[in-house]
Amino acid sequence: MRSKVTVVGAGNVGATTALRIQQLGYTDVVLVDVVEDLPQGKALDMLEAGPVTGTDARVTGSNSYEESSDSDLVVITAGIARRPGMSRDDLLLTNMRITSSVTEQVVKYSPDCIIIAVTNPLDAMVQNIYETSGFPRNRVFGMAGILDTARFRTFIAEELNVSVEDVQALVLGGHGDDMVPLVRYTSVGGIPITELMAEEKIDQLVARTRAGGGEIVALLKEGSAYYAPSAAITQMVEAVLLDKKRILPACAYLEGEYGINGLCVGVPVKLGAGGVEQIMQIGLTEEERTALRHSAASVQELVDVMKKSKEEAAG
Ligand code: APR
C-alpha cells in the first residue's frame, strides 16, 4: 500500500513539494489550502501528469482536512511571505496564528503523523507547531539545514569545478543570517575544504550562503525560493518513509543538547521512520559554540514574542 503525505499550503513551496513527492511514485499526496479551488486545480494538473511521467500516485486537493485523514507525514508550508512595510514580528505573529490553526487540524485528523515544518521564520514556527501539536519531539521538526547546506555545496562545487555530489557540508543554528556553516566539517571527496580553498574565499562563500535566501528574493522580486526548498523537503520525506536513517541537518527541539534547552534550532540528526531518531552531538570549538549560542538567542527572541502574544490573547 502506498503511504500518504499531506502538504498544507498550495503555494510555490507546497505545490512544488507535492509534485516532487508524487513523482517518487510510492506515496499518495493530499494538497490543502484555504484558497477555494486552488489545491484542487493544482492537484488535478499534477495527477494528469501521471500518465506521462509514469506514476500512479494519487494527488488530491482540498480546502479541508478530512481528505488528509491518517496521513503518515504532513508538510506545513502554509503562511504569508513578508511584504513591503511589514515588520518581522508582523510576519511572525501572522504565521504563528496560521500554523497554530493548521496544526490543530493536522493533529485532529492525523494523530500519529510526523510533521515537517517549512513556514518562516522557520525555527520559531517549528517551536510553535511542536508546542501546539503536543507530539513527542521526534515527530515534529523543520526543514532548513538541508537547504542551507545545499546552497553552500553549490557555491563550493562551482568554485572548485567539481561535482556537487562530492561536496559535504554542515550548517548549525537558526535559519537566519546568523546560521553557522561549519567549515571544519566541510569536505570535498573526503578532503577538508581548507586544503582546497583559501580562507578568504571560504569566508566569501559562507557569507553568500548566509544571505542565500535573500539573493533569490532579490532576483524573483515577488516571493521566495521554492525549487531548492522543495527538493530539501522531499529528501526528508524520503528519509522518513523509507526509514533511511540519514544524517542530515534539521531544526529540532533540543533538551540540553549543545547546551540548549527547550528551543528549536538546527542540528545534525538521524532521520528515519521514527522521525528524528537521534540528535547527533558533535564537538564544537569555542568560536563555533559562541556562534551557535548567538544564533539560538535570535530564535529565542522570536519565541518570546510569540509567548507574549499568546499570553495577551489568553487575557
Ligand atoms: N491554511 C492553509 N493554507 C494557507 C493558510 C491556512 N490557514 N494560510 C495561508 N495559506 C496558503 C496560502 O493560501 C498560499 O497558497 O499558504 C500558501 C503560501 O504560498 P506562497 O505565498 O506561494 O508562499 P511559498 O513561497 O509557498 O512559501 C511558504 O514556506 O519557505 C517558506 O518563507 C516561506 O513561510 C513561507 C512558506
pLDDT tens per residue across span 85-113:
565 567 899 999 999 999 999 999 999 99
Mean pLDDT of the chain: 94
Nearest to 92 by CA among 115, 123, 116, 137: 123
Whether residue 13 has its Cβ less than 6 Å from ligand 1: yes
Whether residue 216 has its Cβ less than 6 Å from ligand 1: no
Query: What does the block give as the cell for 14?
Result: 507546497
Asked if pLDDT for residue 225 goes beyond 90, the answer is yes
Asked if pLDDT for residue 232 goes beyond 70, the answer is yes
Question: Is 175 an active-site residue?
Answer: yes
Whether residue 213 has its Cβ less than 6 Å from ligand 1: no
CB-CB contact of 161 with 188 (8 Å) = no
Counting atoms of ligand 1 from 1, which one is nearest the CA of 224?
A: 25
Portion of the chain with pLDDT greater than 90, in percent = 88
Give this prediction's pTM. 0.97
Give the integer Cα–Cα distance in Å for 6 and 103: 12
Counting atoms of ligand 1 from 1, which one is nearest the CA of 119?
A: 34
Give the integer Cα–Cα distance in Å for 97 and 33: 15
Domain architecture of the chain: domains with CATH: 3-142 (3.40.50.720), 145-303 (3.90.110.10)
Buried/exposed 199-214: b ≥16 CB within 10 Å, e otherwise: eeebeebbeebbebbe
pLDDT tens per residue across span 121-169:
999 999 999 999 999 999 999 999 999 999 999 999 999 999 999 999 9
Whether residue 118 has its Cβ less than 6 Å from ligand 1: yes
N- to C-terminal Cα separation, the chain: 48
Asked if pLDDT for residue 236 goes beyond 80, the answer is yes
Give the integer Cα–Cα distance in Å for 92 and 299: 11
Give the integer Cα–Cα distance in Å for 96 and 19: 26
What's the pLDDT score for residue 192? 97
CB-CB contact of 100 with 124 (8 Å) = no
